[in-house]
Amino acid sequence: MSEDLSRLTLVELLERLEPVPEPPPVSLWPQSEGWIWLGIAVAAGLAWLARRWLHHRRGNAYRRAALTEIAAAGNDSAALAEILRRTALAAFPRADVAALHGERWLDFLDRAYGGSGFRNGPGSALATAPYARFAGTPDLAPLAAEWVSGHRRPEGAAP
In a domain, 101, yes or no: yes
Please give the residue range of the domain that contains residue 141: 61-150
* Count of domains forming the chain: 1
pLDDT at 53: 96
pLDDT at 70: 92
Measured CA to CA in angstroms, residue 155 lies from 62, 67, 76 at distances of 18, 23, 32
Question: Which residue stretches of the chain are H helix?
Answer: 10-16, 33-59, 61-73, 77-91, 94-97, 102-113, 140-150
pTM: 0.70
User: Which residue, 77, 85, 74, 75, is CA-closest to 147?
Assistant: 85
Residues in the chain with pLDDT values less than 70: 1, 129-138, 155-159
In a domain, 29, yes or no: no
In a domain, 114, yes or no: yes
pLDDT at 136: 60
In a domain, 8, yes or no: no
